[in-house]
Amino acid sequence: MESLLNGIKVVPLNHYIILCAIIFSIGVIGVLTRRNAIVIFMSVELMLNSVNLLLTVFSAYRGDATGQVFVFFIMALAAAEVAVGLAIIVMVYRNTNSLDINVLNRLKW
């Protein structure tokens, strides 16, 4: 454990921020470029996780445990969101027989 903890002591805060920004941008690109509703949902999960990691990093950096408590709440929220979202996806599939989000443009105009 000590050797693991020593491995982190030379990582600057900026590198953590850049890593989380890269993962978040990958999530944004996934939402913008894919048409399968489930893959879009997975990209949203990716974005939530990158924010979780960044909150934990700041919490460890400042020595304040509040950030980690917030990550716990975000995880509870993500579980609720996934349950409702997947139920909506199942319902959409039952009504349209496809997961293509371009079929769902009736609210567009």
Partner 1 sequence: MNLFYFIAFLSILFALLVIFSKNPVHSVLYLILTFFTFTIHYVLLNAQFLAIVNFIVYMGAIMVLFLFVIMLLNLNKDTEPVKSSLVKFAGIIGGACLLVVIVAAVKALGKSDPVILKQADLGLVKNLGKILFGQFLLPFEVSSLLLFSAMVGAVLLATKDKPVKA
Site for partner 1, residues 41 to 60, rule: CB under 8 A: 41-43, 45-46, 49, 52-53, 56-57, 59-60
Is 12 one of the binding residues for partner 1 (CB under 8 A)?
Answer: yes
For residues 44 and 36, the answer to whether their CB atoms sit within 8 Å is: no
Q: Each residue of 66-89: b (16+ CB within 10 Å) or e?
A: ebeebbeebeeebeeeeeebeeeb
Among 76, 105, 108, 109, binds partner 1 (CB under 8 A): 76
Is 29 one of the binding residues for partner 1 (CB under 8 A)?
Answer: yes
CA 104/CA 97 separation, integer angstroms: 11
Is 108 one of the binding residues for partner 1 (CB under 8 A)?
Answer: no
Is 81 one of the binding residues for partner 1 (CB under 8 A)?
Answer: yes
